[in-house]
Structure 1
Amino acid sequence: MKKHLLPISLMMISVIAWLIFYPSLPDQVPIHWGSNGVDGYQSKGTAFFTLHALMIGIYLLLIVIPKIDPKKKNYQYFSKAYSITNLSLIVLFFLINMMILLISLGYEIPMENLAGPLVGHLFLIMGNYMQQAKQNFFFGIRTPWTLTDETIWRKTHRLGGKLFMVGGIIIMLTLFLPASYEMFIILFVTALVAAVPIGYSYILFRNMDKQA
């Protein structure tokens, strides 16, 4: 129960803060930013519902996943890594909710420059704990080859963890670049750290197949 205390507290704080300041919010609040600033708005009611439904929905899904995974017994071997990664997602949503609320209240927060640090930190955490993951169908680098062989799973996640950490550092450094470069770098690095481990798992499979 203790592991649920912090994420539930963050979700409650976000809901309460929005309800307290709801009457002071403008009818339209910013919910999306591009390189040139705000490029998307929603009504304050829709934004309140959407932001919190997404955060709560994802948290509930993350609780259910270990119970329905065919390899659910393996979660006990990386429960700490799974819990910390999930908490990091909730913290990210919490920070986004709070920044949107503050911006809507008139505070100046350069959201177009903060995507890099936020996503980069998440990548660092995922990379650090990804290597602890055991075979499962929801968390980690799940390919036909990692799911059929534990050695391929382990080697792929060892590489994937390192790539995510390096990618996280690169993405965080976009804070010092013009906002117009930030999204391109985030998308490029994300695609790279996702594609390389997938290809690597297939190469490992082919090499093992040849040796058999």
Structure 2
Amino acid sequence: MKKHVLPLTMIGLLVLAWVIAFPKLPEQVPIHWNVNGEADGFASKLNAMFSTLGIMVILYISMSFLPKVDPRKANYKFFSKSYHIILNAILGVFFVINILVLANAAGYDVPIGSIGPLVVGIIFMILGNYMPQVRSNFFIGIRTPWTLSNEEVWKKTHRAASKIFFFGGLAMILATFAPVYWKETVLISVIALTVVAPYIYSYVLFKRRL
């Protein structure tokens, strides 16, 4: 039960925050910003609440339930602690997003262009730190046809992805201090490389075994 305390506390605090702030919020609330911190997406305050808080709740319920239906559910006992740390890290991103949406809608001058990449970078570093401990499963990790079909490919891919995610996250954090005119290019490039490289690497590893 202890593993549910932190996520339920985050969700409970956000429910309270939304309930208190909701009557005071404008009818249209910014919910998306570009890398320069400029709002480029809006929604009604009701939709904003459901899209930010609602997604977080659905994610928590889904990730709590999925291990029970995974065909490889026996593997979860080998990385249960890491699984819940990863879950809490992801939920932490949505917690920060909710706070930023509420603070911005309430009229506070929030430097979202800097906070957003900083938070994502930290999460990538956390994911990278725990990725080598993730055992083969169908719901979390680098799930390609090649990793799922070979245990050795899974392990080697996740060891490599660990370093890629960690240093990719570090690069995102450093990019928050970069000049505005090339921050977007750096962030997009780092995210693309961090996400795509492990998939390519898993294919290369698999082909080598044929």
TM-score, length-scaled by structure 2: 0.94
| Number of the residue aligned with 1:127 | 128
The range that moved more, 186-195 or 5-14, is 186-195
Cα deviation, residue 61, structure 1: 0.9
Q: How big is each residue's C-alpha offset from its partner over 1:159-186, in whole Å with a ceiling of 9 and x where there is no partner?
A: 0100000100001111102345334323
Equivalent pair of 2:104/2:110 in contact (CA under 8 Å):
yes
Distance verdict in 2 for CA 1:132–1:119, change over 3 Å? same
Aligned residues: 209
Equivalent pair of 1:116/1:173 in contact (CA under 8 Å):
no
Equivalent pair of 1:136/1:147 in contact (CA under 8 Å):
yes
CA distance in 2, matches of 1:68, 1:134: 16
Equivalent pair of 2:128/2:166 in contact (CA under 8 Å):
yes
| Number of the residue aligned with 1:182 | 183
| Number of the residue aligned with 1:4 | 4
Q: How big is each residue's C-alpha offset from its partner over 1:76-121, in whole Å with a ceiling of 9 and x where there is no partner?
A: 1011111001001111111111121111111110112222101101
| Number of the residue aligned with 1:95 | 96
- Give unmatched runs, 5+ long, in structure 1: none
Query: Does residue 14 of structure 1 match 2:14?
Result: yes
| Number of the residue aligned with 2:158 | 157
Cα deviation, residue 194, structure 1: 2.2
| Number of the residue aligned with 1:37 | 38
Cα deviation, residue 58, structure 1: 0.8
Partner SS state of residue 43, structure 2: strand
| Number of the residue aligned with 1:49 | 50
CA distance in 2, matches of 1:71, 1:179: 45
- Give unmatched runs, 5+ long, in structure 2: none
| Number of the residue aligned with 2:168 | 167
Q: How big is each residue's C-alpha offset from its partner over 1:38-59, in whole Å with a ceiling of 9 and x where there is no partner?
A: 1121111221122111110111
| Number of the residue aligned with 2:80 | 79
CA distance in 2, matches of 1:112, 1:36: 4
Equivalent pair of 1:120/1:169 in contact (CA under 8 Å):
yes
| Number of the residue aligned with 2:24 | 24
Q: Structure 1 runs of 4+ off > 6 angstroms? A: none
Cα deviation, residue 36, structure 1: 5.8
Identity percentage over the alignment? Answer: 43
Query: Cα RMSD (Å) of the superposition?
Result: 1.4
Equivalent pair of 2:33/2:39 in contact (CA under 8 Å):
yes
Q: How big is each residue's C-alpha offset from its partner over 1:129-176, in whole Å with a ceiling of 9 and x where there is no partner?
A: 001011111111111221121111111111010000010000111110
